[in-house]
Structure 1
Amino acid sequence: MASIGVDVGGTFTDLVLERDDDGPGGRRVFVHKVPSTPADQSVGVVDGILAICRIAGLDPKAVRRVVHGTTVATNITIEKNGAEVGMLTTKGFRDLLHIARHKRPHNFSLHFDVPWQSDPLVKRRNRMPITERIMPPDGRVETPIDLDEVRAAVREMKARGVEAVIVCFLFSFLNDAHEKAALAIVREEMPEAFASASSEVANVIREFERFSTTAMNAYVGPRTARYLRNLETRLRDEGMDAELRIMQSNGGIGTVATCSERPVTILMSGPAGGVIGGRWAGAMSGVGDVITIDIGGTSADIGVIADGAIRIMNPRDTVVGQHPVLAPMLDLDTIGAGGGSIAFRDEGGAFRVGPRSAGAMPGPACYGKGGTEPTVTDAHVVLGRLDPERFLGGDMAIDPSLAERAVREKIAEPFGMTLEEAALGIVTIVNANMALAIRSNSVARGFDPRRFSLMPFGGAGPLHGVALAEAVAARDVIVPPAPGITAAMGLLATKLAYEFTRSTPTLVSGPAMGDFGAANATLADLTALAAERLAADGVAPEAMIFERVAECRYQGQGFELRTPLPDGPVTAESAGAIVAAFHGVHERDYGYRFDDTQVEIVTLRVIGSAEVPPLTWPGLADAASPDPAEALLYVRPTTFDDRQRLDTPRYDRDRLKAGHVVPGPAIILQHNSTTLVPPGFTARIEKAGNIRIARNQQPSAEVAS
């Protein structure tokens, strides 16, 4: 029996397999990379699964669980090729998705795009007004719903070829009776359509954000559901009866059925696995404060883990494709910087790198697949940091002459540089872009990088790790055991989790503090929903874990912050603890607090989860001495960021043992990544399999004298 984690990136699909017993060579954990297949990700996923099973000497039928991190839903939002969506909404409010909140994306620019107007998720002609009205604050029915209007509107949408239909009425989070009635007619008249109601997808306050979330769910829904069903079918056709689980944006895994119904929960499925894998690898070194940066072929994903805890974004920040999405997501940032990022001279004559990427096809020029534009990978080849015969463990051939030609013709000659200067310029610029993003996610949010270890992973991460740690003043660098596969490892190091929400405005401080009956009833309902979902996945009641969160604000504020709730019912006594926790969260995020201002709960959340046996990485054998000579492969000249060109030894990471010390300059090679140790730094191999890289200690003046 075995479990497999599969993470699909823009260039490569990464896999990790863990056997319950020992495989070839006494190994229990196997890793592998295969090229991604952007036209249909399931092809690369299944090919990769079959390949890693062969490597592990395992019959694919013996795989009991496959956990998948996918970018299908994300790519739909980027490529803007989602479904044709129809919308039933309250009469008089069909333009709510267009008007939004009248916020300018760029306050001081006269030339900007408003994406929810230029690229609406639902075209205006497909927004059908329906006579009905629910009123606050108690959800009373002001105007009964006209079901004949609903039926006529649905038939018109069917005639137009609409693929997905959403039902979004005002104040449905207070009373969803009208939405349920309309949705029943949609499913009766258009059983083939992807149909959902806002009270099912995001049962929370704020109409625009709720409608936008529901629209996004439908926009990505049909293609995402087809992909997941297709993947299940392909696996069965190969004789595999494994449970297929999907990584969700909140760091938990869900079933194919639930993720097909709510694809809005997997919009950040791909990047989420990397943050989970970073926490797992940091724990192996006893480090809880980690800044992760997952650098792949197309993008770099940055996350901050403080005291071993992974942060969830506040709702005001959960934006995908510039559309607000009220779905829980891990707090991370993605920028267009990776091995495939293209270097170019822009229209103003400036030297730029990214965000445009060469992707998997044609890829960097050195791949020899028709690419002619220089990329970050090509720059590393020119600098001697990637050896042609050892790229991807020798499984993929690269041509240094093609990299040199691309860098020379597109960068060196136009800017009057030498070939080496041009390549160093490419690396320097992309490092600056990533360092800025790291600071935005750490310093700008109240975290001091000096107490954090930087953890670079992804295929390109360890090549940039030390330079980025120096740029942001991180404590040191931790390179995971298989950096190119770390996101896939995170898939086997996470848990089953579902999150349920409902807006229940409740004052928890001040003289007007009200009754907590509604809040406690909501918590009970949400807990029951979470328990029902976990039970459907076969989780025993005693194995269920429930976490409760309140989204709180100072009364009158426009947005809320996630605040943990104490165990037990909300009472006048426990309200004090809620208020104190919110003050602390507000001060951490904004740098100040208002102790005398009334605090209000707006939305309640319950996260139901169940632990899954985590990935166990085998420890390394102990080295006889710190000298890593037994792992030395060969020596080649390499150019470093300080322009020094030095004869640099290459070491085989598979031969390095616990206690080996690798002084810089050095390059550590493995199948899925390459680690650069510059001069003045030393890498130490830990028992758990991580590599710790730190600057050499300078002797004090007294010792030197």
Structure 2
Amino acid sequence: MARIGVDVGGTNTDLVLECGKGVFYHKVPTTLRNQSIGVVEGVMALCAKAGIEASDVETIVHGTTTATNITIENNGSECGMLTTEGFRDILHIGRHKRPFNFSLHFEVPWQSHPLVKRRNRIAISERITPPTGDIAVPLDEDAVRAACATFRRRGIDSVVIGFMFAFLNDAHERRAREIVLEEMPDAYVTLSSEVANVMREYERFSTAAMNCYVGPKTAFYLNDLESRLRNAGVTSKLRIMQSNGGVSTVDACARRPIRILMSGPAGGVIGGASEGEMTGVANVITVDIGGTSADISTIPDGTVKIMNPRDTYVGGHPVLTPMIDLVTIGAGGGSVAYVDEAGGFNVGPRSAGSEPGPACYGRGGVEPTVTDAQVVLGRLDPDMALGGDLALDADLARKAVETVAKSLGVSTIDAALGIIRVINNNMALAIRSNSVARGLDPRDFSIMPFGGAGPLHGVALAEAVSAKDVIIPVAPGITAAVGLLKTDLRYEHTEAVIVEIGASGEAELGRINAACALLRERAKAELDADGIAEAEQRIEIVAECRYRGQGFELRAAMPEGAVTAENKGLVAESFHAQHELDYGYAYPEQEVELITLRAIGSASVARIAIPEIAATDGSSTDRALMLVRPTTFDDGRTLETPRYDRRKLFAGDRIEGPAILVQHDSNTLVPPGYGAEVLAHGNIRIRPLGIA
């Protein structure tokens, strides 16, 4: 059995293959015009590298940034929307949140880049009444057909249907979809009650609109990739990483692409958590630094955190879908350094990407980037990048960095150091926002840098946030792809059930149990469709609750089996405990209100096994020495620095800085005063010399 994990980034596409012959890694440039081209080329090259046939691959798990990039670049589909009369402008009004409270000059994304233009939002006469969901005003079907005629004239084929209180009764939304598909058979249609069947109309409408905005292009990409793989002789199952850390099918993700808005970064967090488990480190801060961005996540006690729904924004728009808790900033190897009009020195968030890429790539890029700075400082050897597969031009890198050096009136070396310091500081601030700001002390955590650029920044980031040490994964440049082969199938469904738990009687408990049964059926149907045997299926129901009158909910555990008058108090107790954990206090005497029930259906899959490497035989690490070259470190010193081939290091070997550990997918910088210890699986721990 062979399995492949493929993670597509803004600059490179990373691949890992596990088969009977072992574990193989590969990296190719991302084909931005159509990512599927690079994926297929990488899969075929990796199979050749492992000496297997493409038809031998049973499963491919894919992490993609397609949906994410659509939101960043604001180039989604032109959408139409059907909504309830009187609520046409919900998507524009939002919640009156000001991103910068005291600024007169700021941009509101949901107004400056609306998912559905106002002219394409058409109000329909209909009304469902709360709290029962009874129909007060029937759906005006003629108005729906007239709206479809308008959409056809405007060339719109992506339609959002979001009616008030559809989470209590979705009959009008379902009927409207039937009419839309009669009038526009090829339309991509999203119902708010299917993608976010919860209260809060703005967030529900925004989620549905985002699904339609990214849906057609994302569905085309996923189906095109599957077709290209088949044409190349790859008959494996294709699975897609979701934002919640689970994987799903192409069909499910094509219908609900909001599930994969954070698909790419999620694989890195899962991979980082797994590397921490391998090294026996429970508290890890992952820093995935690629060519375009840095994705940062804090993993306390080995637990990958899921964001609170109130914090799940993508491209400035609220999206009610489960996402791994992470922070993404524009800080990568391709981040461009520049001096702004006011004379300020900036690095990122704009990136050179892979086309044209950093100046040193020789593809036409002329602006200085972080990668160019690393070349100037001697931390990246032009003849050894990607094992020699990527030739870098040191002269072009120096010329690019000289442009900012002249603007700042400093030497080229100082300008390069400045680029590195600024980008490191940007990432350190993001690390604090995901740790200190959440009540977690970085001094109790290990920094785990990965991605192609990560290990060059690891020690500097650990110093900046006072982390206890640095853990470098086995294949840092491929860690996100490895994470794809360490995750389970996972599906989630929600149902709105608004009930005061303490005051609930037989009728309310009946509603809760009926909703639980419905959710179990939905989750089971998806697992059945994926071919998962019933004995291997796991379905968990969680309650999303709040104190009566609160604005947002927290998750609470549900009792086993049916909810009864005898065990309903367990839900409230769980909520009180979670509130105490998250906020430091609770009100056990206050009424707890159930708002939403969520079903989480999952199934375990075989996980990639990283083999241990040979233990040291006591011989000198000179066996791994490649060459010695001058390298400039953060303190400004330029030292003769040995390069070691990481593949020739054994478990238990120790390397004292200054040193650079070289491998195909990434380089690891060990500054003077630090030592690197090789661990059992080939992971590396870096910490100050003299610390046992």
* Counterpart secondary structure, 1:648: strand
Gaps of 5+ in 2: none
* Counterpart secondary structure, 2:600: strand
Instruction: Give the deviation of 1:595 after TM superposition.
Output: 3.4
Aligned-partner residue type, residue 186 of structure 2:
E
Q: Given that residues 550 and 604 in structure 1 are in contact (C-alpha distance below 8 angstroms), is that contact kept between their aligned partners in structure 2?
A: yes
Question: Matches of 1:279 and 1:572 in 2, distance apart?
Answer: 40
Q: Given that residues 10 and 297 in structure 1 are in contact (C-alpha distance below 8 angstroms), is that contact kept between their aligned partners in structure 2?
A: yes
Instruction: Give the deviation of 1:125 after TM superposition.
Output: 1.4
Equivalent pairs counted in the alignment come to 692
Instruction: Give the deviation of 1:506 after TM superposition.
Output: 2.2
Aligned-partner residue type, residue 552 of structure 2:
F
Aligned-partner residue type, residue 84 of structure 2:
T
Aligned-partner residue type, residue 522 of structure 2:
L
Q: Does 1:18 align with 2:18?
A: yes
Aligned-partner residue type, residue 206 of structure 2:
S
1:151-162 to 2 correspondences below 5 Å: 151-162=145-156
1:56-67 to 2 correspondences below 5 Å: 56-67=50-61
Q: Does 1:497 align with 2:494?
A: no
Instruction: Give the deviation of 1:510 after TM superposition.
Output: 7.0
Residues 535 and 632 of structure 1: CA distance in aligned 2, closer, same or farther (over 3 Å):
same
Q: Given that residues 272 and 479 in structure 2 are in contact (C-alpha distance below 8 angstroms), is that contact kept between their aligned partners in structure 1?
A: yes
* Counterpart secondary structure, 1:432: helix
**580-589 or 280-289, larger mean C-alpha shift:** 580-589
Q: Counterpart in 2 of 1:607?
A: 600
Instruction: Give the deviation of 1:404 after TM superposition.
Output: 1.0
Q: Does 1:543 align with 2:540?
A: no
* Counterpart secondary structure, 2:384: helix
Q: In structure 2, which of residues 40, 47, 63 is the aligned counterpart of residue 46 of structure 1?
A: 40
Q: Counterpart in 2 of 1:555?
A: 548
Q: Counterpart in 2 of 1:451?
A: 444
Residues 488-539 of structure 1: CA deviation (Å, up to 9, x unaligned): 0011110111001112122234799994222222122111110110000000
Instruction: Give the deviation of 1:390 after TM superposition.
Output: 0.7
Residues 697 and 509 of structure 1: CA distance in aligned 2, closer, same or farther (over 3 Å):
farther
**115-124 or 273-282, larger mean C-alpha shift:** 115-124
* Counterpart secondary structure, 2:233: coil
Q: In structure 2, which of residues 111, 116, 140 is the aligned counterpart of residue 122 of structure 1?
A: 116
Residues 460-490 of structure 1: CA deviation (Å, up to 9, x unaligned): 0000011111111112111110000000001
Question: Matches of 2:432 and 2:148 in 1, distance apart?
Answer: 49
Instruction: Give the deviation of 1:110 after TM superposition.
Output: 0.8
Q: Counterpart in 2 of 1:3?
A: 3
Q: Does 1:530 align with 2:544?
A: no
Gaps of 5+ in 1: 23-27, 700-705
Aligned-partner residue type, residue 285 of structure 1:
T
Instruction: Give the deviation of 1:648 after TM superposition.
Output: 1.1
1:56-95 to 2 correspondences below 5 Å: 56-95=50-89
* Counterpart secondary structure, 1:329: coil
Q: Given that residues 507 and 514 in structure 1 are in contact (C-alpha distance below 8 angstroms), is that contact kept between their aligned partners in structure 2?
A: no
Q: Counterpart in 1 of 2:222?
A: 228
Residues 287-315 of structure 1: CA deviation (Å, up to 9, x unaligned): 22111010000000001111221111111
Q: In structure 2, which of residues 667, 670, 674 is the aligned counterpart of residue 677 of structure 1?
A: 670
Question: Matches of 2:208 and 2:290 in 1, distance apart?
Answer: 30
Q: Counterpart in 2 of 1:641?
A: 634
1:199-598 to 2 correspondences below 5 Å: 199-409=193-403, 411-509=404-502, 515-598=508-591
Question: Matches of 1:489 and 1:88 in 2, distance apart?
Answer: 42
Q: In structure 2, which of residues 106, 111, 114 is the aligned counterpart of residue 112 of structure 1?
A: 106
Instruction: Give the deviation of 1:440 after TM superposition.
Output: 0.5
Q: TM-score, normalised by structure 1?
A: 0.96
Runs in 1 of length 4+ with deviation above 6 angstroms? Answer: 510-514
* Counterpart secondary structure, 2:498: strand
Residues 44-92 of structure 1: CA deviation (Å, up to 9, x unaligned): 1001101111111111111111111111111111111111111111111
Q: Given that residues 446 and 588 in structure 1 are in contact (C-alpha distance below 8 angstroms), is that contact kept between their aligned partners in structure 2?
A: no
Instruction: Give the deviation of 1:592 after TM superposition.
Output: 3.4
Q: Given that residues 498 and 596 in structure 2 are in contact (C-alpha distance below 8 angstroms), is that contact kept between their aligned partners in structure 1?
A: yes
Residues 634-675 of structure 1: CA deviation (Å, up to 9, x unaligned): 111111111121111111011111111111111100000010
Q: Given that residues 318 and 324 in structure 1 are in contact (C-alpha distance below 8 angstroms), is that contact kept between their aligned partners in structure 2?
A: yes
Question: Matches of 1:71 and 1:201 in 2, distance apart?
Answer: 20
Q: In structure 2, which of residues 79, 92, 95 is the aligned counterpart of residue 98 of structure 1?
A: 92
Residues 166 and 683 of structure 1: CA distance in aligned 2, closer, same or farther (over 3 Å):
same
Q: Counterpart in 2 of 1:703?
A: none
Question: Matches of 2:56 and 2:504 in 1, distance apart?
Answer: 63
Question: Matches of 2:395 and 2:567 in 1, distance apart?
Answer: 68
Q: Counterpart in 2 of 1:702?
A: none
Question: Matches of 2:109 and 2:132 in 1, distance apart?
Answer: 34
Question: Matches of 1:151 and 1:190 in 2, distance apart?
Answer: 10
Question: Matches of 2:508 and 2:143 in 1, distance apart?
Answer: 39
Question: Matches of 1:509 and 1:665 in 2, distance apart?
Answer: 64
Aligned-partner residue type, residue 18 of structure 1:
E
Question: Matches of 1:143 and 1:273 in 2, distance apart?
Answer: 46
Q: TM-score, normalised by structure 2?
A: 0.98
Residues 125-179 of structure 1: CA deviation (Å, up to 9, x unaligned): 1111111100000101101111122122112212221120121111011001111
Q: In structure 2, which of residues 143, 146, 154 is the aligned counterpart of residue 149 of structure 1?
A: 143
Residues 87-118 of structure 1: CA deviation (Å, up to 9, x unaligned): 11111111111111122222111111122112
Instruction: Give the deviation of 1:626 after TM superposition.
Output: 6.8
Instruction: Give the deviation of 1:698 after TM superposition.
Output: 6.3
Q: Does 1:189 align with 2:204?
A: no
Residues 110 and 658 of structure 1: CA distance in aligned 2, closer, same or farther (over 3 Å):
same
Aligned-partner residue type, residue 90 of structure 1:
T
Question: Matches of 2:121 and 2:319 in 1, distance apart?
Answer: 19
Question: Matches of 2:305 and 2:319 in 1, distance apart?
Answer: 17
Question: Matches of 2:638 and 2:424 in 1, distance apart?
Answer: 20
* Counterpart secondary structure, 2:383: helix
Residues 412-454 of structure 1: CA deviation (Å, up to 9, x unaligned): 1111111111111111110000001001101111112122111
Question: Matches of 2:565 and 2:308 in 1, distance apart?
Answer: 26
Question: Matches of 2:156 and 2:408 in 1, distance apart?
Answer: 51
Q: Given that residues 157 and 184 in structure 2 are in contact (C-alpha distance below 8 angstroms), is that contact kept between their aligned partners in structure 1?
A: no
Instruction: Give the deviation of 1:572 after TM superposition.
Output: 4.3
Q: Does 1:660 align with 2:653?
A: yes
Residues 610-633 of structure 1: CA deviation (Å, up to 9, x unaligned): 111001111101110174221111
Instruction: Give the deviation of 1:330 after TM superposition.
Output: 0.6
Question: Matches of 2:160 and 2:109 in 1, distance apart?
Answer: 20
Question: Matches of 1:204 and 1:589 in 2, distance apart?
Answer: 23
Question: Matches of 1:145 and 1:510 in 2, distance apart?
Answer: 34
Residues 568-616 of structure 1: CA deviation (Å, up to 9, x unaligned): 3334444443333323333343343333332222111111011110011
Q: Given that residues 296 and 458 in structure 1 are in contact (C-alpha distance below 8 angstroms), is that contact kept between their aligned partners in structure 2?
A: yes
Residues 31 and 436 of structure 1: CA distance in aligned 2, closer, same or farther (over 3 Å):
same
Residues 387 and 648 of structure 1: CA distance in aligned 2, closer, same or farther (over 3 Å):
same
Q: Given that residues 99 and 106 in structure 2 are in contact (C-alpha distance below 8 angstroms), is that contact kept between their aligned partners in structure 1?
A: yes
